[in-house]
A and B are shown apart, each in its own frame.
Chain A
Amino acid sequence: MIEIENVRKSFGSLEVLKGIDLTVQKGEVVTIIGGSGSGKSTLLTCINGLEPIDSGRITVDGTEVHAKSTDLNKLRRKIGIVFQQFNAFPHLTVLENVMLAQVKVLKRPKAEAEAEAVKQLNHVGLGDKLKVYPSRLSGGQQQRMAIARALAMSPDYMLFDEVTSALDPQLVGEVLDTLRMLAREGMTMICVTHEMKFAREVSDRVAFFHKGVMAEIAPPDQLFGAPRDPELQKFLSATH
């Protein structure tokens, strides 16, 4: 369970998170929508401790992320994250990309790491690209590789930060299909996304962020069907 309590965060004088409260249960899929600069991506990087917070508390399975005593490297093993930019390690093959952290962080034997990497790459449809370097992959394939790389760590939670935003339109579908598949399999996910149709389909709950505040959170039918927040109404009419 991920519990976010009254989290505030500023970059300089700009407050990007103004007291966020959100609890995500095991097995739940929560998507976060909202305009750019609404703080939704920042929240994700706070959850796995890549960004510090100014006040409030984030706990993952009872471990407080920003406590001094928390071993972040250990905590991050159970929280996978995939970013907007394709963050392939360009000097490693696709297979090696997915094996590296398993061997270094989880200390898995090479053979076991390789088997897991092959399994995950097959899972995301890259089983035929094992020996290829990332520069030979399309954006969509690189993004699916990044998903496989995160999944190979056997995380309990997956965070997706606008993973389709940097993709050519015709490549968005393949990545969203991968996310849909994970959602069906019961992975606990928080997805920041601009894909409204996708959010509506996969989410248990959808949260709307506006200027650092979670203005509304509801099951998708309710949030898209009968939005109450006036900013959300504006946002939806502009994106539809």
Chain B
Amino acid sequence: MFDTALTAADFAFLARGAGMTIVVTLISVIAGTILGIVFGVFRYQVGPIWAAPLTFVLDVFRSIPLLIQLVLANAFLGTILRLNMSGFTVACIILSLYTAAFCAEIVRGGIEAVPMTTRRAARSLGMTWGQDMRSIVLPLATRVALPSWIGLALGVMKDSALVYIVQVTELLKSTQILITRLQEPLLLLMICGAFYFVISFPLARFGGYLEKRWSND
């Protein structure tokens, strides 16, 4: 039944693709989250009118399909600006901004979920805006935002499959290369899916663990 032409070298090739998926996802999720926090706090703090230009740009990143963004950014950065960027760099930049656009909304929602009265109590104890943000808002907003953020991170991990369009050979692209050569699509897609699952599962469980831990209070 398991009569396959798949060799250990092919398997290693897939693992390297999975490694690329992890690297692109990690960079994008970390950079996107940091940017998203900055954008989200800014949007909350300055109010809808002053934040309108930023909101518009973020909406663009949220609305246009990632594939189109990647192709256009690659063309724009490479052909028009003549920046000699690798596909990997372009992929990380676009995926980070894409993550940041969603993350900013999650952050803003998290901050808004912290009751104004709780923040007032903190300020009335003499805490500064920064102390209130760090000691009260950050931990409380994180609890609210975590499930959405985990969802975002998992989504970005799967969306990172699209970076093949800028010549980055990640997990799905590696799988396709092998499918073309070996003509064993079902087996290879099953292995590919298993790789994705192995990458996602710890993150999803980690989120579940944190939620459970925080539910005590």
Contacts and interface: CB of A to CB of B under 8 A. Distances in A.
Genuine A/B complex: yes
Nearest to A152: B125
B145 to A, nearest CB: 14
A48 B123 CA distance: 10
A160 interface: no
Given A73-B128, A76-B123, A83-B120, A104 B135 contact: yes
Interface string A14-56: 0000000000000000000000000000000000101000000
Contacts of A90: 118, 140, 217
A74 interface: yes
B137 to A, nearest CB: 11
Nearest to A87: B121
A146 interface: yes
Contacts of B180: none
Contacts of A48: 124
Given A50-B123, A133-B216, A135-B217, A89 B118 contact: yes
Contact of A50 (B120, B136, B140, B216): B120
B214 interface: yes
A213 interface: no
B117 A87 contact: yes
Interface string A84-111: 0101111111000000110011100000
Given A91-B140, A100-B135, A104-B131, A50 B217 contact: no
A9 B170 CA distance: 63
A118 interface: no
Contacts of A150: 125
B65 interface: no
A72 to B, nearest CB: 8
Contacts of A133: 216-217
Interface in B162-217: 214, 216-217
Nearest to B120: A50
B121 A91 contact: no
B143 interface: yes
A99 B143 CA distance: 22
A104 B136 CA distance: 12
A73 B126 contact: yes
B216 to A, nearest CB: 7
B127 A89 contact: no
Interface residues of A, number: 29
B124 to A, nearest CB: 5
A144 interface: no
B127 A104 contact: yes
B139 interface: yes
A50 B124 contact: yes
A80, A87, A153: residue with the most chain B Cβ atoms closer than 10 Å? A87
A81 interface: yes
B110 to A, nearest CB: 13
B122 interface: yes
A77 interface: yes
Contacts of B121: 83, 87, 89, 146
Interface string B106-150: 000000000101101111111110010001100110010000000
Nearest to B131: A104
B116 to A, nearest CB: 10
A50 B119 CA distance: 11
Contacts of B123: 50, 73, 76
24 contacts: A50-B123, A73-B126, A73-B128, A74-B126, A76-B123, A76-B124, A77-B126, A81-B124, A85-B117, A87-B115, A87-B121, A89-B122, A90-B118, A90-B217, A91-B139, A91-B140, A91-B214, A92-B217, A100-B125, A104-B135, A105-B127, A134-B217, A150-B125, A153-B125
Interface of A: 48, 50, 73-74, 76-77, 80-81, 83, 85, 87-93, 100-101, 104-106, 133-135, 146, 149-150, 153
Given A76-B124, A104-B127, 13 more contacts: A73-B123, A76-B126, A81-B124, A85-B115, A85-B117, A89-B122, A89-B136, A89-B140, A91-B217, A101-B125, A105-B127, A133-B217, A146-B121
